[in-house]
């Protein structure tokens, strides 16, 4: 009798597990800035900045000449830092009104549709370049299968998007590919709508995907939007990046060696503090001669020695900042709180080539709280828009993908979406 009861229990558990797995809504992971591998190939038009940067470096590449551009550990060594920066640099053509790679540099994003390039930025250095691996593993533990119910949407994160009346070849192609992936994921899973899970900059791309498609498309193909550490209103940290360069915590790198490359990034310009969320009277950068807020960034760009950034900022970025419409689907934002985050930058008479004195405020260590909570201030009164915020104290911008408690919150939320649990507006994790 006990044996029969045990067999019945085992069969019941198997049926429950199979049903739970089959009931999973397909899920698409959209990484943040620098959150996936990027490959490059050099052509005969490539002009190296030094002998070290010749066309044959690095030696390790595949038969077609492709090699990993991001992340490359040789960026830690000064001569190769310059080489890396040259190959990563974008160029804005005012006549064409669009961005492009450096001459002679071709780039591609590997493994679109799969999570492979999101797990580790360098699979040979897993311990120090872990990105989404802990989150992906936790999703696999509740039944998700890469390429079947879980999909990755890596992209060339240097590029951004532009308003509809401006060309944006690379960014627009990514949105087109992402839309196709959403439809494919849904169709291959019995027509179930998709859960979008983004990190950081990926949230802005996901929002644009939703804003640029009709409500009928969103209703058919999107179940829920889960945004982790989304910088809805940009960051003060980005002004530090443009003024003085930013090593992003990578040791031994001189920030001035990567400053020009970081300034050239279209997505970095998109992440400047948004005047819709950062108050005009709130000073962000203070120097002996001037004070800058989110409302006079063109003047800031000119004064730091980057006047070429003014035109694309005024004609492309400002319009994108203004286009922060409600997503039109249920959204859950998971954010870190209580982490010291740059709020005001003080420069002395030595100028922008030196790192500033920093006054810190609340945020996740990268994104300011006013930006992380932008969804509440922008969309709380939007018609038919449900919002939920999960706050995880002490978790940083990238730890939200690795910290056990934070990942647990994300997975619980996704499990709840799959189980149709009641939507709770706000959660504070203790």
* Residues carrying an active site annotation: 200, 364, 397
Q: Provide the token pair at 100.
A: 């492009």
DSSP assignment of 109-136 equals -S-TTSSHHHHBSSTTSTTTSBSSHHHH
For CA atoms 259, 336, 149, 134, the dihedral sign is positive
Cα separations in angstroms, 228 against 143, 196, 375, 413? 21, 11, 12, 12
Residue 274 class from Cβ within 10 Å (0-12 exposed, 13-18 middle, 19+ buried)?
Answer: buried
Q: Whole-angstrom Cα distance, residue 221 to residue 214?
A: 11
The C-alpha angle 175, 176, 179, rounded to 5 degrees, equals: 85
Q: Provide the token pair at 229.
A: 């550490």
Q: Whole-angstrom Cα distance, residue 70 to residue 117?
A: 11
CA 380 from centroid of its chain's CA atoms: 23
CA 171 from centroid of its chain's CA atoms: 13
Question: Would you say how long the chain is, in residues?
Answer: 430
DSSP assignment of 370-423 equals HHHTHHHHHHTTSTT--EEEEEEET--TTGGGT-HHHHHHHHHHHHHHHHTPPP
Report the candidate in 222, 203, 221, 254 with the shortest Cα–Cα distance to residue 375.
Answer: 203
DSSP lists the bridge partners of residue 425 as: none
The C-alpha angle 154, 233, 32, rounded to 5 degrees, equals: 15
Q: Whole-angstrom Cα distance, residue 84 to residue 72?
A: 8
Pairing label, strands 194-199, 27-30? parallel
Residue 206 class from Cβ within 10 Å (0-12 exposed, 13-18 middle, 19+ buried)?
Answer: buried
Report the candidate in 168, 266, 250 with the shortest Cα–Cα distance to residue 258.
Answer: 250
Residue 9 C-beta-side C-alpha neighbours within 13 Å: 6
């Amino acid at each position: 009798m006990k044996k029969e009861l045990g067999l019945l229990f085992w069969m019941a558990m198997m049926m429950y597990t199979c049903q739970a797995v089959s009931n999973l809504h397909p899920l698409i992971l959209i990484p943040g800035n620098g959150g996936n591998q990027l490959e490059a190939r050099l052509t005969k038009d490539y002009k190296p900045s030094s002998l070290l940067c010749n066309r044959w470096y690095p030696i390790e590449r595949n038969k077609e000449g492709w090699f990993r551009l991001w992340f490359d550990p040789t960026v830690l060594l000064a001569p190769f830092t310059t080489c890396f920066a040259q190959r990563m640099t974008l160029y804005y053509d005012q006549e064409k009104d669009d961005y492009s790679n450096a001459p002679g540099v071709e780039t591609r994003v590997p493994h679109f549709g799969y999570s492979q390039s999101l797990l580790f930025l360098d699979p040979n250095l897993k311990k120090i370049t872990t990105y989404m691996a802990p989150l992906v593993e936790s999703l696999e533990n509740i039944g998700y299968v890469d390429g079947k119910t879980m999909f990755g949407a890596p992209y060339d994160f240097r590029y951004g998007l532009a308003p509809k009346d401006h060309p944006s070849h690379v960014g627009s192609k990514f949105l087109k590919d992402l839309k196709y992936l959403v439809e494919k994921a849904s169709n291959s899973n019995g027509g179930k709508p998709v859960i979008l899970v983004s990190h950081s900059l990926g949230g802005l791309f996901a929002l644009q995907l939703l804003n640029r498609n009709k409500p009928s498309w969103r209703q058919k193909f999107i179940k829920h939007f889960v945004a982790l550490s989304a910088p809805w209103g940009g960051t003060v940290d980005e002004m530090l990046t443009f003024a003085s360069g930013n090593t992003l915590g990578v040791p031994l790198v001189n920030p001035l060696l990567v400053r020009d490359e970081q300034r050239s990034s279209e997505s970095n310009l998109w992440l400047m503090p948004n005047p819709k969320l950062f108050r005009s009277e709130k000073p962000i950068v203070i120097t002996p001669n001037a004070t800058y807020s989110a409302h006079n960034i063109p003047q800031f760009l000119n004064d730091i020695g980057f006047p070429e950034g003014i035109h694309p900022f005024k004609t492309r970025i400002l319009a994108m900042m203004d286009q922060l419409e409600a997503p039109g689907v249920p959204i859950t934002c998971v954010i870190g709180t209580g982490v010291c985050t740059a709020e005001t930058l003080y420069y002395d008479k030595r100028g922008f080539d030196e790192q500033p004195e920093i006054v810190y405020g609340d945020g996740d260590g990268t994104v300011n709280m006013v930006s992380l909570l932008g969804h509440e201030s922008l969309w709380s009164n939007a018609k038919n828009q449900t919002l939920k915020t999960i706050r995880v104290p002490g978790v940083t911008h990238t730890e939200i993908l690795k910290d056990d408690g934070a990942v647990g919150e994300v997975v619980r939320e996704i499990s709840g979406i799959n189980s149709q649990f009641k939507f709770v507006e706000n959660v504070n994790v203790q």
